[in-house]
């Protein structure tokens, strides 16, 4: 009973908030509704009894959307509306509608729930985090390790891209001071 | 004892009432402690030893005009303080504050109700609390971005910088104790250290303890790392345009977060509440009070750091230390 109320509440709120994310022309509204919808999604995990995944959803998306916010802060004036440039409204409608349809089909497929068996049922007595760990380090070991290597590669690439001139300081660089002085002299 | 929904509700009301009151009282204690450390007297005029200063501050906050700047995004501007306060209290719902007790049976309606120590005893409590406290930083971020003020937007940018810096350190520093205990539940942490002072995790994980404390200061925006509203640099950062109770809500949230960090530090590293002993609840109060005092002490003793110094500290010093600590812990556990 409580679970059903919670489920419908979370569903309505999540769908509504994602609608705001897509429809709104204000960066601040879009980002905030995205963040709160992501937090609400963790509610579904809690209802299903997957506490660990719920908290992971919370932590990961709070951090990820915080990074998105910082981009929004750099590129837009957050208090004004943005003029969107849609060259072809029909195309946008068609592509959006098609991808929505595909997603609905994918997620409606398990409607034949008789055909679904839990390959790795939860262990009695073991906690949620332990179960996730068991599956990660047995069945999904290779994808897990590949994902880890991929993240490492991305991190090293990021450091190399950002760190080209890391060895000389912007504030203590004498050449930089000279350049500023030269510009001043020209004026 | 069975936990009923009435018990949980009473617990939630107790947490809200007591922590809000402590947050108000905390401002008084903070001013007094800072004053004594700087050889001043602090608030002295309202009531004996200035004790009624809280009431005066409360009246001031409640009756001040609530201003929303003209060009601000009014809706986001109004909900930002609520996010800070609400997430701080949600985080408190999963940590043990105050002891278990049963309401005596002579009280008419609620008699015999068992009130648990933790309002919601999740078995992933540690992660939940850290995640909720992280979500609390949306408050300053949205406040800064919505108020159409340049100091505000600098405060918001610093929020993002600070969050991305300390979050890694918090997670990694608390990972080593989690590995030792083998659980994410605060109850298991308490049980692991039940043997007395010798069993406290701070002796096994001193590095993790120090790292967690430093990250905790950044998490609660306490002084060495209070970049978000650094009065001397960015007027008041994210809180520049706020007045009255909306401004007050940011501070209730901040003090509630200080208490949450103190509780986590006390339960995870300093033995928690001793379930067997009769005075366990008194000891955990003393531990929480000590950490609260430590935060005030550090504020009196240390200057602010610059944002680049914070990033340097978190990414180049604390994070490698935390990783090395985890590797050493893992090796010791394996052998």
Q: What average pLDDT does this structure show over B101-112? A: 69
Put simply, whether B69 touches A (Cβ < 8 Å) is no
* Measured distance CA(B321)–CA(B327) in Å, rounded: 10
Look at residue A99 in the predicted model and tell me its pLDDT: 93
Is A66 within 8 Å of B163 when comparing Cβ atoms? yes
Look at residue B280 in the predicted model and tell me its pLDDT: 67
Q: Which CATH class is domain A1-82?
A: mainly alpha
Q: Which of A24, A53, A63, A166 to mutate to test the interface with B (most CBs of B within 10 A)?
A: A63
More confident residue, A46 or A128: A46
CA distance readout (Å), A69 to A78, B29, B313: 10, 36, 23
The 3-state DSSP composition of chain B as helix, strand, coil percent (nearest 5) reads 70, 0, 30
Query: Looking at chain B, which residue has its C-alpha nearest residue A29?
Result: B76
Residue bearing tokens 């897990």:
A144
Number of C-alpha atoms within 13 angstroms, CB side, residue A88? 6
* Percent of chain A whose predicted confidence (pLDDT) is above 70: 82
Kindly list the domain boundaries of chain A, sorted by start residue: 1-82, 140-187
Ranking A43-47, A66-70, B22-26 by mean pLDDT, the lowest is A66-70
Look at residue B168 in the predicted model and tell me its pLDDT: 85
Q: What average pLDDT does this structure show over B94-103? A: 73
* Percent of chain B whose predicted confidence (pLDDT) is above 70: 93
The answer to whether B137 touches A66, Cβ cutoff 8 Å, is yes
Look at residue A171 in the predicted model and tell me its pLDDT: 61
Put simply, whether B219 touches A (Cβ < 8 Å) is no
For residue B239, pLDDT over 90 is answered with no
pLDDT grade, residue A151 (50/70/90)?
very high
Put simply, whether B168 touches A (Cβ < 8 Å) is no
Is B145 within 8 Å of A73 when comparing Cβ atoms? yes
Is B146 within 8 Å of A127 when comparing Cβ atoms? no
Is B124 within 8 Å of A78 when comparing Cβ atoms? no
List pLDDT tens digits, range B267-309: 888 877 765 556 667 777 888 888 889 988 888 888 888 888 8
More confident residue, A143 or A180: A143
Distant-in-sequence, close-in-space partners of A25: CB < 8 Å, separation ≥ 6: A81, A82, A83, A84
List pLDDT tens digits, range B28-70: 888 888 888 888 888 888 878 888 888 888 888 888 888 888 8
Query: Looking at chain A, which residue has its C-alpha nearest residue B140?
Result: A66
Min Cα–Cα distance to chain B from A16, Å? 17
Residues of A in contact with B153 (CB under 8 A): 73, 78
pLDDT grade, residue A14 (50/70/90)?
very high
The A residues from 119 to 178 touching B (CB cutoff 8 Å) are 127-129
For residue B111, pLDDT over 70 is answered with no
The A residues from 85 to 124 touching B (CB cutoff 8 Å) are none
Cβ-Cβ pairs closer than 8 A, A with B, add up to 83
More confident residue, B109 or A162: A162
Q: What average pLDDT does this structure show over A90-109? A: 88
pLDDT grade, residue A177 (50/70/90)?
low
Give the Cα-Cα-Cα angle B287, B288, B292 (nearest 5 degrees): 115
pLDDT grade, residue B73 (50/70/90)?
confident
Q: Which of B123, B124, B186 to mutate to test the interface with A (most CBs of A within 10 A)?
A: B124
Q: How high is the mean pLDDT of chain B? A: 83
User: How large is the ipTM?
Assistant: 0.77
Q: What average pLDDT does this structure show over B176-197? A: 81
CB nearest to B76's CB, from A28, A39, A72: A28
Q: Is the dihedral of CA A22, A24, A29, A31 positive or negative?
A: positive
* Measured distance CA(B99)–CA(B238) in Å, rounded: 36
List pLDDT tens digits, range B2-18: 677 777 888 888 888 88
Ranking A30-44, A78-92, B26-40 by mean pLDDT, the lowest is A78-92
Ranking A50-54, B21-25, B85-89, B270-274 by mean pLDDT, the lowest is B270-274
Look at residue B192 in the predicted model and tell me its pLDDT: 81
Q: What average pLDDT does this structure show over B78-102? A: 83
Q: What average pLDDT does this structure show over B230-238? A: 78
Distant-in-sequence, close-in-space partners of A59: CB < 8 Å, separation ≥ 6: B127, B130, B131, B134, B171
Residues of B in contact with A26 (CB under 8 A): 73
Q: How high is the mean pLDDT of chain A? A: 80
Strands B101-102 and B114-115: antiparallel
More confident residue, B116 or B136: B136
Q: Which of B83, B141, B150, B174 to mutate to test the interface with A (most CBs of A within 10 A)?
A: B141
Region for residue B294 given its phi and psi (left: phi exceeds 0; alpha: psi -120 to 50; beta: otherwise): alpha
Q: How crowded is residue B295: how many other Cβ atoms within 10 Å of its Cβ?
A: 21
Look at residue A143 in the predicted model and tell me its pLDDT: 92
Pull the structure tokens for residue B108. 């008419």
Look at residue A180 in the predicted model and tell me its pLDDT: 59
pLDDT grade, residue A142 (50/70/90)?
very high
> Residue B118: phi, psi to the nearest 5?
-110, 125
Look at residue A145 in the predicted model and tell me its pLDDT: 92
Min Cα–Cα distance to chain A from B181, Å? 13
* Measured distance CA(A38)–CA(A105) in Å, rounded: 22
Q: What average pLDDT does this structure show over B213-218? A: 88
């Amino acid at each position: 009973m409580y679970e059903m109320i919670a489920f419908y509440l979370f569903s309505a709120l999540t769908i509504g908030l994602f609608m705001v994310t897509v429809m709104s022309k204000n960066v601040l509204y879009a980002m905030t509704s995205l963040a709160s919808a992501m937090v609400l999604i963790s509610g579904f995990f809690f209802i299903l009894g997957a506490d660990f995944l719920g908290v992971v959803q919370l932590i990961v998306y709070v951090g990820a959307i915080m990074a998105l916010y910082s981009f929004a802060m750099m590129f837009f004036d957050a208090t004004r509306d943005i003029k969107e440039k849609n060259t072809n409204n029909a195309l946008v409608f068609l592509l959006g509608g098609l991808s929505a349809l595909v997603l609905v089909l994918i997620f409606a497929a398990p409607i034949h729930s008789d055909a679904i068996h839990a390959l790795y049922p939860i262990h009695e007595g073991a906690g949620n985090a332990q179960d996730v760990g068991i599956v990660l380090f047995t069945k999904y070991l290779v994808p897990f390790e590949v994902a880890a290597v991929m993240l490492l590669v991305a991190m090293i690439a990021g450091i190399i891209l950002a760190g080209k001139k890391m060895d000389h300081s912007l504030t203590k660089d004498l050449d930089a001071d000279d350049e500023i002085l030269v510009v001043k002299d020209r004026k | 004892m069975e936990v009923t929904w009435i018990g949980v509700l009473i617990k939630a009301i107790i947490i809200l009432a007591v922590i809000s009151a402590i947050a108000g009282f905390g401002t008084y204690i903070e001013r007094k402690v800072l004053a004594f450390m700087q050889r001043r007297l602090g608030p002295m005029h309202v009531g004996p030893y200035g004790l009624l200063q809280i009431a005066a501050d409360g009246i001031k906050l409640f009756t001040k005009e609530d201003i929303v700047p003209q060009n601000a995004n009014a809706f986001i501007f109004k909900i930002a303080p609520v996010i800070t306060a609400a997430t701080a209290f949600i985080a408190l719902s999963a940590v043990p504050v105050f002891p278990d007790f049963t309401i005596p049976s002579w009280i008419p309606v609620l008699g015999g109700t068992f009130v648990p120590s933790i309002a919601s005893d999740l078995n992933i409590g540690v992660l939940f609390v850290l995640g909720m406290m992280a979500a609390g930083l949306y408050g300053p971020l949205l406040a800064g971005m919505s108020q159409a003020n340049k100091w505000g937007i600098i405060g918001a940018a610093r929020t993002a910088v600070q969050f991305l810096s300390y979050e890694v350190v918090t997670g990694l520093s608390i990972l080593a104790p989690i590995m030792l205990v083998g659980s994410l539940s605060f109850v298991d942490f308490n049980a692991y250290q039940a043997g007395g002072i010798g069993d406290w995790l701070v002796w096994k994980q001193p590095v993790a303890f120090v790292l967690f404390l430093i990250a905790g200061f950044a998490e609660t925006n306490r002084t060495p790392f209070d970049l978000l509203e650094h009065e001397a640099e960015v007027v008041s950062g994210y809180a520049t345009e706020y007045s009255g109770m909306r401004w007050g809500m940011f501070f209730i949230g901040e003090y509630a977060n200080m208490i949450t960090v103190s509780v986590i530090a006390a339960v995870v590293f300093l033995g928690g509440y001793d379930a067997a002993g009769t005075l366990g609840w008194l000891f955990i109060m003393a531990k929480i009070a000590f950490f609260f005092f430590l935060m005030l002490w550090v504020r009196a003793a240390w200057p602010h750091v610059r944002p680049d110094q914070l990033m340097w500290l978190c990414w180049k010093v604390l994070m490698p230390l935390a990783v090395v600590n985890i590797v050493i812990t893992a090796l010791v556990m394996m052998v």
